[in-house]
Amino acid sequence: MQPSNEPPRVGVIMGSKSDWPVMEHAVAMLEKLGVAYETKVVSAHRTPDLLFDYAKSASERGLSVIIAGAGGAAHLPGMVASQTPLPVLGVPVESKSLKGLDSLLSIAQMPGGIAVGTLAIGKPGATNAGLLAAQIVGLQDAKVREAVEAFRAEQTQKVLDNPDPRAE
């Protein structure tokens, strides 16, 4: 799903379908800000050829940014980053055994020379990955930049309109 008939500017990928409940928050933010996207399951371990094809073709297909969510060993963001010149934003998906700390460390501990922007674990990370991807797209797209600015102004106004923490 994507806004209007625009070609996707952001790729939202995840290691398995079970990552969708987290990654849907990145998609929701992209939709809110009017950024065209594509979404797909691409496993670093189960479909490595698909991963390489996806990453290597992303730029020529018109993508500007890739958001990659993964749990556990969380190799997806780093492997994608190794195969594309595009910015890759890694979202650590919470794992049952280590509550996502394993995912966070796997994504954050990239060797020098292969950059992955690492976000927070889970829903906040996915939400912020969508926002950060929109900010990157907004560098070249005034409409998206204006949507980001409006979103931030809305966030500010919510705080200003409700300064008393006790009020509902």
152 is in an annotated binding site: no
Give the DSSP H/E element, type plus range, for residue 66: strand 65-71
166 is in an annotated binding site: no
61 is in an annotated binding site: no
Distance between CA atoms of residues 59 and 78, nearest Å = 17
Sheet with 88-93, side-by-side order of all strands: 37-41, 10-14, 65-71, 88-93, 117-118
Structure tokens of 101?
A: 């700390």
Amino acid sitting at position 70: A
Q: What residue numbers does the annotated binding site for substrate cover?
A: 16, 19, 46
Q: What residue numbers does the annotated binding site cover?
A: 16, 19, 46
